[in-house]
Chain A
Amino acid sequence: MLAKRIIPCLDVKDGRVVKGINFLGLKEVGDAVELGRRYALEGADELVYLDISATLEGRKTFAELVSRVAEAVNIPFTVGGGIRSLDDASRLLDAGADKITVNSAALARPELIGEIAAKYGRQFVVVAIDAKKGPDGRWMAITHGGSKPSDKELFSWAQEAEARGAGEILFTSMDHDGTRNGYPCDTYAALSDRLSIPVIASGGAGSVEDIAAVLTEGKADAALAASIFHYGQYTVAEVKRQLAEAGIPVRI
């Protein structure tokens, strides 16, 4: 049976992981390659590396990091942050990334999704959507790390992204991200029902129960999490063991 995926997310700035300080026995705290290997050994199904560097120099360091991750890690990994063009995507593919994620750049120029998918296949393109529920109850996509609203409604934008060649949708509710109060499961289920590509849930997990809920009621195919792993609240192995006990198919 196809397993639900658990995906730790590592935020990287100037080549080093910004979060993630509580791994016992880890010699080089913050080393992005070492952390990735550690997660892979613990049973992570995939990894996501997000470049949050603001400088050109930081971006260059990130591409070098992607090569080192590809050499060291034996599971699939996705990279994102600052991908604006087909050339940016090509550079990361050449460095060894299995998938890339685009967010603001796809909102600004949706054709980008199709350009990357046509060249490298849709399995390579993850479209990330950050959205917020407006006063009228509609979920609207927002750009630039949650600071600018767009004119795209979540469901129609996700469907458009799929039609243009997205292989997966990574949806983060900005109303839940960082709260550790759980995911908006109804919204995830509605999104999943409208798409024929996998949905990755992100942002809001405070417990294994939250993750279990979004993978069942929320019909998500995968859950991405940062804080609950980085701060050592749970290991990936512990989360997967508890999900398995709850009857959710996971790779153990």
Chain B
Amino acid sequence: MIAIIDYDMGNLRSLENALDRLGAAYTVTADPGTIRRSDKVILPGVGHAGLAMDNLVERGLPEVIRSLRQPVLGICVGMQVLCRDSEEAPEKPCLGIFDAHVRRFSPTSGCKVPHMGWNDIRNLEGKLLRDLESGAYVYFVHSYYAGLCPDTVATCQYAGQLFSAALRYENFYGTQFHPEKSGSVGERILQNFLAL
């Protein structure tokens, strides 16, 4: 059973639909016991990183998440809160699993912020991105990015910035992009996560 953490950070419908298409069983929950007992955990999230941290704290989840030993996948803001900190809420430390700082894109000529749409990912490493070709396209919607760090397992380039498209530290995985909206490539990534 997969636990999708429900902490009021955006609509979970597309993630649920994507897991349904793959035939995966899941439960949507904020209950620490259920989360700890599940085989895998997904931490989704769309919105403000500071609000995301507040909502996790309010539900008593930061320590629960840090203590998990089963595979955990953070998606978008769910990935960002697994980093050290974010410029979006500098006064609030994040969960500090990934050794990355989250910064805002500076708009450059011809590059709009948010970074929205399909972009290609490269330097792919590890099991989550197994069987994907370098240059595969995935769907992004974000204004903040995690810089490169030792945990980077995929890179993407936007607004003159090479950033982490995916991160991994031990049993923790994160994607800045939305695998649940990334066509067949995204399906492959979710299948890889399910197979961990």
On whether the beta carbons of A196 and B113 are closer than 8 Å, the reply is yes
* Interface positions of A from 93 to 147, Cβ below 8 Å from B: 93-96, 98, 120-123
- Residues from chain A with a CB closer than 8 A to the CB of B114 are 122-123, 167
Q: Which residues of B are found within 8 Å of A223, using beta-carbon distances?
A: none
**Do B11 and A2 have beta carbons less than 8 Å apart?**
no
**Chain B residue total in the interface (Cβ 8 A):** 34
A3 to B118, CA, bound (A): 6
Interface residues on A, range: 20 to 34
Whether B119 contacts A123 by the Cβ 8 Å rule is no
- Minimum distance in angstroms from A48 CB to a CB of chain B: 14
Known contacts A74-B181, A75-B139: does B112 contact A45 (CB below 8 Å)? no
Residue of B17, B46, B47, B111 near A96 (CB, 8 A) is: B17
A-B contact count (CB 8 A): 79
Quick check: A2 and B117 within 8 Å, CB to CB?
yes
CB distance from B164 to the nearest CB of A (A): 16
User: When the two chains form their complex, are residues B117 and A123 in contact, meaning their CB atoms are under 8 A apart?
Assistant: no
**Which residue numbers of B lie inside 8 Å of A, CB to CB?**
10-11, 13-14, 17-18, 20-21, 46-47, 107, 110-120, 137, 139, 141, 157-158, 180-184, 186-187
How far in angstroms is the closest Cβ of chain B from A107?
24
Task: Say whether A166 faces chain B, with CB atoms less than 8 Å apart.
Answer: no
Chain A residues near B184: list those with CB within 8 A: 74
B117 in contact with A74 (CB, 8 Å): no
Whether A213 is near chain B, meaning CB under 8 Å from some CB there, is no
Interface contact A121-B14, CB-CB below 8 Å? no
Q: How far is the CA of A2 from the CA of B110 in the complex (A)?
A: 11
Q: Assess the B117–A221 pair: CB atoms within 8 A.
A: yes
The answer to whether A2 touches B158, judged by C-beta atoms less than 8 angstroms apart, is: yes
A135 CB to nearest B CB, Å: 33
Instruction: Tell me how far the C-beta of B23 lies from the nearest C-beta in chain A, rounded to whole angstroms.
Output: 13
22 residue pairs bridging A and B, Cβ less than 8 Å apart: A2-B111, A2-B119, A3-B119, A45-B118, A70-B13, A70-B14, A71-B20, A71-B21, A74-B21, A74-B180, A74-B181, A75-B182, A94-B11, A96-B14, A98-B14, A123-B116, A196-B112, A196-B113, A198-B116, A219-B110, A222-B117, A251-B120
B33 to chain A, nearest CB (A): 28
